[in-house]
Amino acid sequence: MNLPVSRHAAQPALNPRRRRPAAFARAAVSVLLAGLIPAAAVLAADTPEPAPAVAPAPIDRLAAGRAAIQAQDWKKAVTELTVLVREQPGLADGHNLLAFAFRKQATSNLPRAFEHYRIALKLDPNHKGAHEYIGEAYLMDKQPAKAEEHLARLKTICGGTACEEYDDLGKAITGYKAANK
């Protein structure tokens, strides 16, 4: 006995409109999987990935700060070395050079110079350059007695008077005293 087939039950299988979306999706997946359309073509061509921001390494900032000091570009030195000490707050050389740049600007910023010399010396109590330069800063601030304290400290660190930092600060103190008799 043959049962009558409902027109509605058979219609979905025969209706081409209802098969197209599923068939199209299967065909699209097949084409992608087959590699006929490169996967990159699926991505938007007008949205390139942003280039990663690469900050100079701290050692590069130290070198850039030293180069700016050598060129007597105090503004650039302060900028580079400020970023350096923010990135590496435990770097005594960075604080010492930043203090030096603050001191050497056309209008010296002695409070900031003293701040960074003190940080450098806290980080490295035997930092010869920081002792020499803070002594010179004290001379600028009309405090020769404090400069002489750092000269005495250099004598101890250097094991006598035969080091450049001791010699330079000693000459600066002698010059200060001669000019301020």
pLDDT at 180 over 90: yes
What would the mean pLDDT of 86-92 be, rounded to a whole number?
A: 96
> Which CATH number characterizes residue 99's domain?
1.25.40.10
Q: Which domain holds residue 147?
A: 58-179
**Residues 80 and 35 occupy one common structural domain:** no
Is 26 in the same domain as 74?
Answer: no
Instruction: Indicate whether 99 pLDDT > 90.
Output: yes
For 39-72, the pLDDT digits (tens) are 444 444 444 566 666 666 666 999 999 999 999 9
Residues 111 and 139 in one domain: yes
Give yes or no for a contact between 155 and 133, defined as CB atoms under 8 angstroms apart: no
Q: Are 139 and 165 part of one and the same domain? A: yes
pLDDT confidence of residue 54: 66
Residue 29 has pLDDT above 60, yes or no: no
Same domain, 26 and 92: no
User: Do 155 and 73 fall within a single domain?
Assistant: yes
| Residue 1 predicted with pLDDT over 50 | no
Q: How many domains does the chain have?
A: 2
In a domain, 48, yes or no: no
Q: How do residues 118-159 score in pLDDT, each as one tens digit?
A: 999 999 999 999 999 999 999 999 999 999 999 999 999 999
